[in-house]
Amino acid sequence: MAAKQNKKSTAKKGKTSQEKREVRRPSFKSLLIQYIILTIAFYFTAKSCENARKSKEEAAKAAQTEQALKEKNKIKPARPEDSLQWKSLQNQMGDFAYALQLPPSEPVQVKTELFDISISSRGGAFEKLLLNRHTNAKGKPVRLIDNNQDFNIDLKLKNGKIISTRDFPFVPEVKRTDSVTIVTMKLFAGQDKYLAFEYRIPQNDYMIDFKVYTKNLGYILSDDAYDLHWDLKAYSHEFDPKYENNFTTLKYEYEDGKIDELSALSKEDSDEAEDVDWVDFKQHFFSSFIITGQKPFEKARFKQISLRDKEQDSIHTKHFFLDTRLQPENGNLYYEMKWYHGPNDYELLASYDMDLEEIIPLGWGIFGWINKYAFMPLFDFLKKFISNYGLIIILMTLIVRLVTSPLYYKTYVSQAKMKIIRPEMEEINRKYKDNPMKRQKEIMALQSKTGVSPLSGCVPSLLFIPIFYALFRFFPAELDLRHKGFLWVNDLSSYESFVTLPFNIPFIGNHISIFALIASVLMFVYMKMNQSSQNMSMPTQEGMPDLSKMMKWMLYLMPFMMFFFFNNYASGLSLYYMISTFLSLVIVYVIKNYVIDEEKVKAQIEENKKKPKKQSRFQAKLQALMEQAEQQRRLQEEMKRKRNRKK
């Protein structure tokens, strides 16, 4: 019985295990899915490995190619045991072949509060120079130099051979203190025989002392002058490289104070000068100067190429070139110069007392005077209390308009007087319509008698021209407005682009400026108001052009012209002009309706008529000339009548 039960139990367990095995056995469908997944995974894994292998091979190949090119271009150092190669190099390079035996040096890195500098051991010149306190349109430090310049001196040997410093390794010597880092790059021609480039880089100043000198090379180098070459491809730093390129140019000072420049708008330009004190590769807001110090360049040649126009380069703006000569004395070379790599800050440049600030285009004559002694001090004063530069411009506009409001008052008083005597002037026009000389004489007599002068309304308006032109120069040149926003504007020193178009419109571009558009509309309203006042005050004279028709054309033409201009100019100027025109409308409305009393003006004119009016010298001279012209006219008419009688 027990055996039977055990047998049944064993059979039952076997059956259960078999059922479990049947349950755990995977189906054909699941096996197929797993196979597909594994196949796909294997394919992509193999593909990835293949791509990685190819990438490694390509990278290795590129590295080998690059290394081969480097080896090809590299002047291989002579080994002492290779006497033939050593003799060949000595024939070519003289004692400077010694430099090729020295072990290679790493670039010298100098980091200050203002700079991040790297000086190359090959050629001994800057290979990188970044400005730590200024950023470009992408928010990265401004790079004035980043493998985009070539500084070289050609040395002529006594055997007639010429070697270039750019091809030789320099040995660096670095001394660091808390205030300055002194880097001396030496090109050796033997023990204690070398050409040196010495850089004194201050911790907190953009001006770098630069010295070029030789030691114990008098028997190696020729007494002829050495060619110095410096060229630089200026990087673009602003939001719009095309606009930036319009303010990028080469400037220089020569003959003890004269300053000149190449054309910023030309595709290519060149010039030369003598006794050159400094040369500036000027960009919109940054500059790279070489300053000669006590020994000016006797003669220098300059050239610039607009890379955007000639090569459609979107990274650079212009390619600058300087070629000059350094004159040795007693077989040795010694020049003390300076580098300035930094912002076009007027006060900073002026502090060096070398006329460097003259590179900032504030305008000539009275326009520059207005900027230097009026707008710049006012702007600097306001920015001490206000951090928003758009509000500073608005407040500047308000102050300028309040200061110049007396000019508006004089203009509209003059218009009111002309309006009052208009009926009498029209009567004179009708009475003497056939005698223009007599008509003009009577009109002048009336104006003199009543104390009315048409010029008194024109002269105040002319005074606004230098103010506008000064601001036209000020806003694009003001460094503090660079990358400063207001409302939707990103950069008050560049044009505003509220609407970007998918196409270009002639004279407008691919954008629309709201400030420029509003300013043009306000200008139309302002001119419309003025035109109605002028038409009422100035009657049309016989034989004279109808000014009302000309003004009608100007009414519609000027706002369009101003929109074309402002749409592609600094948005700070557009903002100023928009607010200025609005304030002009308000001031004119207040003067005409609440300040000028026409009854009082009329009473004053009547009072003037009763008083004897003494002519000024100008009026007396003009009247005498008109009387002579009238006598001449009468004499010609009399002679004409006599000839007709004879016929």
Q: Which of 3.40.367.20, 3.40.630.30, 3.40.50.1110, 2.70.98.90 would CATH assign to domain 88-360?
A: 2.70.98.90
Task: Give pLDDT, residue 81.
Answer: 47
CA distance 172 to 103: 12
Q: In Å, how far are 233, 538, 540 from 546, measured between CA atoms?
A: 56, 10, 6
CB 485 within 8 A of CB 491: yes
| Residue 412 structure tokens | 């509209």
Compute the half-sphere exposure of residue 581: CA atoms within 13 Å on the CB side of its CA: 23
Task: Give pLDDT, residue 566.
Answer: 78
What does DSSP assign to residue 76? P
Task: Give pLDDT, residue 92.
Answer: 67
CA distance 132 to 114: 5
CB 215 within 8 A of CB 193: yes
pLDDT tens-place string over residues 35-79: 555 555 555 455 555 555 554 555 455 445 444 444 443 334 444
Which of 569, 562, 469 is closest to 509 using CA atoms? 569
- DSSP-derived 3-state class of residue 210: strand
CA distance 151 to 229: 6
Amino acid identity of 407? L
The 3 state secondary structure assigned to 230-264 is: EEEEEECCCCCHHHHHCCCEEEEEECCCEEEECCC
CA distance 239 to 260: 28
| Residue 643 structure tokens | 């000839």
Q: Helices marked H in 384-492 — which ranges?
A: 389-431, 436-450, 455-462, 464-477
Gyration radius of the chain over CA positions: 41
Following DSSP, what letter does each residue of 25-53 receive, concatenated? SPPHHHHHHHHHHHHHHHHHHHHHHHHHH
Which of 386, 391, 287 is closest to 339 using CA atoms? 287
Which of 407, 460, 440 is closest to 629 using CA atoms? 440
What's the longest Cα–Cα distance across the chain? 178
What does DSSP assign to residue 106? P
Q: In Å, how far are 176, 533, 565 from 495, measured between CA atoms?
A: 44, 34, 10
CB 279 within 8 A of CB 290: yes
Sign of CA dihedral 564, 565, 568, 570: negative
CB contact set of 128 (below 8 Å; sequence gap of 6+): 116, 117, 118, 143, 145, 146, 147
CB 498 within 8 A of CB 514: yes
| In the block, residue with structure tokens 């899915």 | 33
Task: Give pLDDT, residue 18.
Answer: 41
Domain residue ranges of the chain, discontinuous segments joined by +: 88-360, 369-609
pLDDT tens-place string over residues 126-167: 999 999 999 888 889 999 999 999 999 998 888 778 888 998
| In the block, residue with structure tokens 């479990």 | 20
- DSSP-derived 3-state class of residue 566: helix
| Residue 265 structure tokens | 């708008």
CB 439 within 8 A of CB 426: no
Task: Give pLDDT, residue 597.
Answer: 62
CB 130 within 8 A of CB 141: yes
CB contact set of 579 (below 8 Å; sequence gap of 6+): 393, 394, 397, 398
Length of the chain equals 647
Residue 89, sorted as left (phi over 0), alpha (psi -120 to 50) or beta, turns out to be alpha
| In the block, residue with structure tokens 């004692």 | 95
Residues of the chain with pLDDT under 70: 1-94, 309-313, 408-417, 419-422, 428, 431-461, 507, 530-556, 595-631, 633-634, 645-647
CB count, 10 Å around CB of 301?
14
CA distance 189 to 203: 32
Q: Give the H/E segment covering residue 383.
A: helix 376-383
CB 605 within 8 A of CB 452: yes
Which of 266, 476, 464, 268 is closest to 361 using CA atoms? 476
CB 324 within 8 A of CB 196: no
Amino acid identity of 457? G
Long-range contacts of 368-377 (CB under 8 A, 24+ apart): 368/470, 368/473, 370/466, 370/467, 370/470, 371/470, 371/473, 371/474, 374/470, 375/470, 375/471, 375/474, 376/346, 376/474
- DSSP-derived 3-state class of residue 134: strand
Provide the whole-model pTM: 0.71
CB count, 10 Å around CB of 547?
15
CA distance 297 to 322: 11
CB 463 within 8 A of CB 540: no
